[in-house]
A and B are shown apart, each in its own frame.
Chain A
């Protein structure tokens, strides 16, 4: 199953990966994607540390959600607009 990972703000700077095409087993959850990314290197571990928010196809979601083919998953810190 192919998915697209995007990162923003501090999460993007720490991971040094703004966009990543990733292949994951069918039925993977967002928590499993995070575990996989953390295993890649220390930069991803640091980037995904703490209270990182996750969006799936532009909607905030929690880590238990099961992914579908071609999902776009974004990781970013709490927002600070306004």
Chain B
């Protein structure tokens, strides 16, 4: 597994092959599915267009929280492996922000693992977005729909 916070852009092809190599190490060739997701900076919000976002994190806690989440996804969905990379710092429209990948013997677990990682990441990993346009910038507020998605996973676990 891997879980990383970084300013630099990531190479999706490299991450895919890293996940595949990890999964093959664990499963000895039993990986029948890999699902990956890449999140990009949207060029607008409810008020209009933006130029980009600045992402802040809590060094130490953010890395720990992301690693714990990836470990939870592997255990919960019996994944062969999983990985997550989240960028911080200044990003512009259409820049990649986040990548998650899950490998499993069958597709449903890989899909579920990727959705779980994204839903829970938006709820429990300390990262904060500030949208900017010209000299104006505003913190993004947490969405009730994101909380609802995460709470549904927590409810299903009970």
Contact = CB atoms under 8 A, between A and B. Distances in A.
Interface of A: 6, 8-10, 55, 58, 60, 74, 76-82
A57 B150 CA distance: 23
B39 interface: yes
Interface in B66-113: 86, 97-98
6 contacts: A9-B128, A55-B61, A60-B124, A80-B122, A80-B128, A81-B127
Interface in B36-69: 39, 55-58, 60-61, 64-65
Contacts of B114: none
Contacts of B142: 77-80
Interface residues of B, number: 29
Contacts of A58: 58, 60-61, 64-65
A62 to B, nearest CB: 15
Contacts of A8: 56-58, 126, 128
A70 to B, nearest CB: 15
Contact of A79 (B60, B97, B123): B123
B129 interface: yes
B62 to A, nearest CB: 8
